[in-house]
Copies of this chain bind each other. A is one copy, B any other.
Amino acid sequence: MKSQVVTFLIKCPDQKGLVAKITSFFFEKGFNILSCQQYVNSIEDKYFMRIRLNADGTEISKKELEENFMELAEPLQFKWSVNYGDKKQNVAIMVSHTSHNLYDLLERHREGSLVCNIKMIISNHDKLRPIADMFGIPYHYLPVTKSTKQEQESQVINLLDANEIDLIIMARYMQILSSNFINHYPDKIINIHHSFLPAFQGANPYKRAYDRGVKLIGATAHYATEDLDEGPIIEQDVEPVTHESTLKTLKRIGADIERLVLARAVKSHLQNQIIVSGNKAIVFPEAGE
């Protein structure tokens, strides 16, 4: 594990001594603790930790580390995951007609600010194929009709699973996914909704924002769950608008918010900054990384 940054994400019932026990465990194994972030939800008595380790001072194997950690984790009822930083995550992007989020993600990936393998773009339309071609990413056109919806989803699942996809980004994919699909990828689907949720859930949020005469519009990135637009919120932002802002203006300003919000959410996910708890996302800030 030399020169790697190992990240553990832990959630468990709150109890005395957790931070001492966990940090002592890693210290005794020879790790240097790069950062240690915790959050205590004192209403629900839950404890959350994100701890990043430098493995340079230890000879321990992954297997041994995990076996040893299990001995700590079980009596304290940890739910935990570990990322060894030695393998980029595999990502699939799903789109329909709208291109700005797709462009933005591909550009950030190309520039090195989103570290992952973008393995494929999947769309129910053929429209955005030229962008995939520009960036040299495989494009899968899988059209969907009411009668073929279930079959199309099966095709998508097959593609995702065959490519060992770790994260699915719905970058303005305008189809409602079935519960079956969603539950196949828990906390692994990030959706961008083009409103400041919970305002304007569902269809046509910009039109409804225009009709309501709001003075700010927003966007929300969240994990997709069975309840449409109800999943854990990762990131939100807004921009001011005025009475002069036409629907077209709202969409243009909104596109800029969508870009930033989705990119930030994806980055937080790829950097193992997020722990989901119920319908909330605990998003630890970057810690000098």
CB proximity of A275 to chain B, nearest CB, Å: 9
Is A16 within 8 A of B57, CB to CB? yes
Is A35 within 8 A of B27, CB to CB? no
Is B233 within 8 A of A213, CB to CB? yes
Q: Is A75 an interface residue (CB 8 A)?
A: no
Q: Is A177 an interface residue (CB 8 A)?
A: no
CB proximity of A202 to chain B, nearest CB, Å: 13
What's the Cα separation between A262 and B196 when bound, in Å? 21
Is B260 within 8 A of A233, CB to CB? no
Is A233 within 8 A of B212, CB to CB? yes
Q: Is A183 an interface residue (CB 8 A)?
A: no
Q: Is the interface of A mostly helix, strand, loop or mixed?
A: mixed
Residue of B237, B243, B282 near A216 (CB, 8 A) is B237
Is B249 within 8 A of A286, CB to CB? yes
Q: Is A99 an interface residue (CB 8 A)?
A: yes
CB proximity of A252 to chain B, nearest CB, Å: 6
CB proximity of A255 to chain B, nearest CB, Å: 8
Is A215 within 8 A of B198, CB to CB? no
Chain B CB within 10 Å — which of A57, A110, A198 has the most?
A198
Is A281 within 8 A of B213, CB to CB? yes
Residue of B41, B216, B242 near A285 (CB, 8 A) is B242
